[in-house]
Structure 1
Amino acid sequence: MNLFELVGMAMRTILSKPMRTLLTMLGVIIGVASVVTLVSIGQGTTAQIEKQYEKLGTNLLIVNLLGNGRATQLDYDQLMELEILPEIDSMAPTVTKGNSNVKYERTKEAFNLVGTNDRFFWIMKTELDSGRILSPGDNEFRNPVAVLGSEVATTLFGNIDPVGQDVNIDGVVFTVIGKLKPKGSSMGGVNIDSSVLVPLESARRTFRLGSIRTTYIEAPDVKDLAAAQNTVSQFLTYQFKSSNGFRIQNQDELMNARKEASSSLTNQLISVALISLLVGGIGIMNIMLVTVSERTREIGIRKSIGAQRRHILMQFLTEATVISGLGGLLGLLLGIGVSLAWPHFNPKQPTELSLSFGLYAFLFSVLVGVIFGLYPANKASRLKPIDALRFD
């Protein structure tokens, strides 16, 4: 009996009880569909991360201070003096205050407050939608002015241009001087779209935010990045008398960290999906055992007219493999459909299909059918013809 005959016989048996077959395949369908969908979401997230970091360039450093107290404080003027060095192009020290209550008329919402200087907008490659960005004078004279991220402006003002309007930030009135276009990325813990940006000194004095904790540094070119990182490290080590009070990250390190976190989460979810495939395999084995019990007389008749043990073994093993293979194929199609539809329901989460992972998931589902079909097939092949024919 050749392979085509075995597959044809298996298909006739499967189609004779379509509902039972579909329920048997359900675990395999869900498992394969989950793997395909999760991998596409994970790869879409990775591609999104790479795209976001490309927008910011590869010549960026982020300095975070780790300690507290005067021994780990930085002076704004001291930091800005580093801009005279050839390996450093721009510096943007920042202070942040999360969940600040920002109010306009009767609309009030919590957003991030970021105190910084004019260089921050250049380093972050932001684009103005209207108005202007912060100026050196705003920081020097501690002007109560603010630039709104796109999400903040939309929440408070809708389609109205906010420039010239006054907003209340934790009880203090600031005049809006600019609105930014959507950036669509987060960098170093700052989501610009959902932030209100004010002069650094205004934020520190008005809201008592204390010392500078994070500084963004841009080198003139990617080839200057190592020199800039070394210079900043030496400066901070000299200031703090230790190299333990700060952490310097470059663009590649930040991107790789986010990729690893995304990949780790995706792998964990894929492991759960593969477990559902194994559960589906157990379901196939159970149904095949029931099938062997139901078709005991058929097995006895076939053996009595000359069918050998290997023929019976291959018949039931092929049937289990076809069930799992069809389930894998349906799961693959379902996973592709969900992956393509996902961005329409969640525009912020792109997907990127991986046909290779889809193929691996399908082949794994076929392997599951082979493994879990072996025991029922072996049991059927070991039945003695005389005992099988007596079975009622």
Structure 2
Amino acid sequence: MMTTETNSRPLISLRGLTKSYQTGELVTQVLHGVDLDIEAGEFVAIMGSSGSGKSTLMNILGCLDKPTTGDYWFRGHSVAKLNHDQLAALRRDAFGFVFQNYNLLAAADAVGNVELPAVYSGTPAHERHQRACELLQQLGLGDRLDHRPGQLSGGQQQRVSVARALMNGGDIILADEPTGALDSQSGKDVMEILAQLSAAGHTVILITHDPEVAEHADRLIEIKDGHVVSDTRKAVQTSKAAPKKTPPRGKASLLNDLGEAFTTAGRSLRSNIFRTMLTLLGIVIGVASVISMLAIGQGAQQEVVDRIGAMGSNLLTVFPGAPNQRGRWNVATLVPEDVDAIQEIPNVLTAVPELTGNQTLRRAGFDQEAQINATYSSFPLARQWQVSEGSFFTEEDEALFTTVAVIGKTVAQQMFPQTDPLGEFLLINNVLFRVIGVMEERGASPWGQDQDDVVFVPFSTGSLRLFGQRFVRNVTVAIDNTDFMHETHQQVHQLLLERHGVEDFTIRNMASIIEAQTETENTMTLLLGVIAVISLVVGGIGVMNIMLVSVTERTREIGVRMATGARRLHIMQQFLIEALTVSLLGGLLGVIIGVGATAIIASLGTSVHYALLPVVLAFSCAFLTGLIFGYLPARKASRLDPVQALSSE
């Protein structure tokens, strides 16, 4: 850090300084071999007409720009050896800028504008706020502390600019046409302030084209066409006070920087509230979509798996007909003897035939079609489907061809709406059956069929009196120990192959069906999630576009921040945190809306599955969206040239 100053060395020393600008193949030289020394405490006016190079010289003196060739020595140290961050530190600690157009931040009040240089020097918030108020009061703005630039006159804005220049001590005040945009009285007031600062020991370098303004200085340097043509000092100079000590500064830390960046981000976003809301919309929709779509997808998956599982995850189902054979439902290959043989296989809990078909039910004026299932008495054990009222038929009923029936809930409600069905009679295909039981309500199957619209009868009775055949539609095999499901599957397959001599049957493993269905639902859920993430990415692109527009609109603000000591990291943090703030706020609103929308959908009867992972995933995606899509605009902002940024409109 450049803090050492000796009497033998000038404060600022320029030797052979040149500055050229290249536009395509055209090279324009603005400064031509400038040699200049400025002592500490001097009040210097650099005067010249427009295009003479005086503003370029000021930018180099203030370390906003670098010379093309030549040497710049500050307190005996070469400025050419300093990198971007070191130049920013030098501007922050040694220089204070007073611009013609004030260059105040429109979204900040007077105190906030004055505090700006101290933000980058790590001064604690309460200390810089107190000092900013004191400076404004000293400059006659004690009643304008909370006023924004748009609420201040030109003279008042320039005083705020002067206070900002003094915030970190302002050893050297660089004033570029400070009266150019002011009326005569305000101009005089500003020049009196600069004269007072000079008398207080500050080094004041004034850039002007007005001889009357230049007369306030103790030393006049005239520049023309990039050359110093004269350098005169007044014969009598007022006595100067000793330079004031630089105000104490805090130690800059990442935590403080981030805190200030979030505060500034909030202020900036509030100043463009409508645009901020539009930017939030894309993130909100994306996050809400991820949460609700995944919840619906996982809910549908869970519902299907539960329904299949309710049918029995320990089941093997044997169908007639060879695998992949068309019309195999009408093939007559399975008989009750196959079922009896399967029951003898180890690890088979029970095996039941199922002979099904639709038949007409009649009772006292009621006429309805329902599915009839002729099966064994062990059906409830095989399908894990119990009787809620009465009882299921027995082996004795099967042996005696008894005409008894057990009905499902739907049949009970439709055929016996106001009567207890137990003991009542039904005509099934003109055969009279007595109802002895009602099954528990099962609901719809995974394929949408009403499982309760069914009547169970003994296999012997059904095959003889209702269907007129012994061949079964399918055989349901319940496995005792599912750990050996695969081995039992192979044993059933081998048994039937030996009995039939040909593979005229198909075996389905319910566990495999559940696994296949789960994989299908996972694929659908993933598809829904991808669609939602695409929506989130689109929202991220919107964030990037808005931030790029923001960088363009706030280019001058970036220049002001750089002039007051902001490093590239500060500028990058600023815009990156603005993007993150938008994304995180959008993520939070998206989570709230997504969970709320999911709850509404669930209340309408759709199955949903609440899980923390989709919420965390969606919010994390919002964070990454802000980080990824905010990086490019933030990097662009941090790479801006301070001089070009300050001169932008």
TM, length-normalised to structure 1? 0.80
Calculate percent identity across the aligned residue pairs: 33
Partner of 2:336: 76
Instruction: Decide which moves more: 180-189 or 254-263.
Output: 180-189
Q: Does residue 264 of structure 1 match 2:526? A: no
Partner of 2:511: 252
Partner of 2:617: 360
Aligned partners of 1:61 and 1:76: how far apart in 2?
16
Any idea what SS the aligned residue of 1:212 has? coil
Partner of 1:65: 320
Q: Is the Cα contact below 8 Å between 1:63 and 1:247 reproduced in 2?
A: yes
Q: Is the Cα contact below 8 Å between 1:233 and 1:248 reproduced in 2?
A: no
Q: Does residue 22 of structure 1 match 2:281? A: no
Shift of 1:125: 2.0
Q: Does residue 117 of structure 1 match 2:376? A: yes
Q: Does residue 214 of structure 1 match 2:474? A: yes
**Structure 1 alignment gaps of length 5 or more:** none
Q: Is the Cα contact below 8 Å between 1:310 and 1:381 reproduced in 2?
A: yes
Describe the superposition over 1:275-318 as per-residue Cα deviations: whole angstroms up to 9, x where unpaired.
Answer: 11111112212222332333233233333444344433321121
Aligned partners of 1:31 and 1:154: how far apart in 2?
46
Describe the superposition over 1:29-61 as per-residue Cα deviations: whole angstroms up to 9, x where unpaired.
Answer: 232233233444455556666766776776433
Aligned partners of 1:108 and 1:281: how far apart in 2?
61
Shift of 1:274: 0.9
Partner of 1:13: 268
Q: Is the Cα contact below 8 Å between 2:312 and 2:383 reproduced in 1?
A: no
Aligned partners of 1:148 and 1:29: how far apart in 2?
51
Aligned partners of 1:280 and 1:170: how far apart in 2?
63
Q: How does 1:343-382 map to 2 (within 5 A)?
A: 343-346=602-605, 349=607, 351-353=609-611, 355-382=612-639
Partner of 1:275: 534
Q: Which amino acid aligns with 1:361?
A: A
Q: Does residue 231 of structure 1 match 2:521? A: no
In structure 2, relative to structure 1, the CA distance for the partners of 1:189 and 1:146 (3 Å cut) is farther
Q: Is the Cα contact below 8 Å between 2:318 and 2:475 reproduced in 1?
A: yes
Q: Is the Cα contact below 8 Å between 2:318 and 2:506 reproduced in 1?
A: yes
Q: Please provide the CA RMSD for this pair.
A: 3.9
Instruction: Decide which moves more: 37-46 or 327-336.
Output: 37-46
Aligned partners of 1:111 and 1:307: how far apart in 2?
81
Shift of 1:326: 1.4
**Structure 2 alignment gaps of length 5 or more:** 1-119, 121-256, 323-327
Partner of 2:588: 329
Shift of 1:319: 0.7
In structure 2, relative to structure 1, the CA distance for the partners of 1:274 and 1:168 (3 Å cut) is farther
Aligned partners of 2:351 and 2:368: how far apart in 1?
30
Aligned partners of 1:212 and 1:189: how far apart in 2?
23
Q: For the pair shown, which has the larger CA radius of gyration, 1 or 2?
A: 2
Shift of 1:367: 0.8
Partner of 2:157: none
Q: Is the Cα contact below 8 Å between 1:312 and 1:377 reproduced in 2?
A: yes
Shift of 1:333: 3.0
Partner of 2:286: 31
Describe the superposition over 1:317-360 as per-residue Cα deviations: whole angstroms up to 9, x where unpaired.
Answer: 211111111111222233344455554432x725242x234223
Q: Is the Cα contact below 8 Å between 1:90 and 1:123 reproduced in 2?
A: yes
Higher relative contact order (CA 8 A, sep 6+): 1
Instruction: Decide which moves more: 169-178 or 56-65.
Output: 169-178
Any idea what SS the aligned residue of 2:343 has? helix
Any idea what SS the aligned residue of 1:133 has? coil
Q: Is the Cα contact below 8 Å between 1:139 and 1:200 reproduced in 2?
A: yes
Describe the superposition over 1:217-236 as per-residue Cα deviations: whole angstroms up to 9, x where unpaired.
Answer: 12444466555433311121
Q: Which amino acid aligns with 2:280?
A: M
Q: How does 1:142-157 map to 2 (within 5 A)?
A: 145-154=404-413, 157=416
In structure 2, relative to structure 1, the CA distance for the partners of 1:21 and 1:122 (3 Å cut) is same
Any idea what SS the aligned residue of 2:389 has? strand
Any idea what SS the aligned residue of 1:130 has? strand
Q: Which amino acid aligns with 2:477?
A: I
Report which of the two has the higher share of helix: 1
Describe the superposition over 1:142-197 as per-residue Cα deviations: whole angstroms up to 9, x where unpaired.
Answer: 66654332344345545643334556778987654321122357489986334343
